[in-house]
Amino acid sequence: MSKLSLNADLVGRRYPEMRNYLSKAWVNAFKGSTSSAKPMPLSFVAALRDGPFAVFDDLEVPLKNLLHISQDYDYHAPLEIEKDLRHLTKILKLKEKTIKLGDVYLMVLETDFLQDDELKIQSRMSVFIRR
């Protein structure tokens, strides 16, 4: 198997917009699966985060080569049910590193979640990618 080769030119690359419709039925089903007392559990956006996986597919990075490091969310405004949720993902950072695991890339992806062109949530996800 050849080693994966990524470069700094990928930083800033934006991926096509993705959309999900936040139906009341979907939100209630998700809420029921999490036992959340909140009207809409804040963790639910993780279930809609297809953008990072589109990046890995595009770059031909096998999921078995990923080590999830962290993720964080900035909540700017509440989401509205029965509306489209648009999400846009870009590569924010990409650095080659040598760690105990060997040679890896550190990649940070950022996803903006919008409704009616208003930024609602911003998510960042950091991963190590094994070369």
CATH code, domain carrying 18: 3.10.129.10
Reported as a pLDDT band with limits 50, 70 and 90, residue 47 is: confident
Q: Is the dihedral of CA 60, 63, 67, 71 positive or negative?
A: positive
Whether residue 126 contacts residue 74, with contact meaning beta carbons closer than 8 Å, is answered with no
Of 13, 43, 18, 44, the C-alpha closest to 108 is 13
Q: Which two tokens stand for residue 75?
A: 């909540």
Give me the domain span that covers residue 108.
13-130
Give the DSSP letter string of the chain.
-PPP---GGGTT-B---EEEE--HHHHHHHHHHHT--SSS-GGGGGGG--HHHHHHHHTT--GGGEEEEEEEEEE-S---TTSEEEEEEEEEEEEEEEETTEEEEEEEEEEEEEETTEEEEEEEEEEEEE-
Residue 1 covered by a domain: no
Residue 121 covered by a domain: yes
Calculate the average pLDDT of the chain: 85
Residue 54 covered by a domain: yes
For the cut 50, the answer to whether the pLDDT of residue 1 exceeds it is no
Residue 78 covered by a domain: yes
Residue 2 covered by a domain: no
Residue 114 covered by a domain: yes
Residue 50 covered by a domain: yes
Q: Can you give the pLDDT at residue 46?
A: 77
Reported as a pLDDT band with limits 50, 70 and 90, residue 92 is: very high
- d(Cα 126, Cα 3) in Å, to the nearest integer? 21
For the cut 50, the answer to whether the pLDDT of residue 33 exceeds it is yes
Q: What is the pTM of this model?
A: 0.84
Amino acid at 90: K
Residue 56 covered by a domain: yes
Q: What is the mean pLDDT of residues 22-46?
A: 76
For the cut 80, the answer to whether the pLDDT of residue 39 exceeds it is no
For the cut 80, the answer to whether the pLDDT of residue 42 exceeds it is no
Q: Tell me how many domains the chain contains.
A: 1
For the cut 90, the answer to whether the pLDDT of residue 14 exceeds it is yes
Cβ neighbours for 16, distance < 8 A, ≥ 6 positions apart: 54
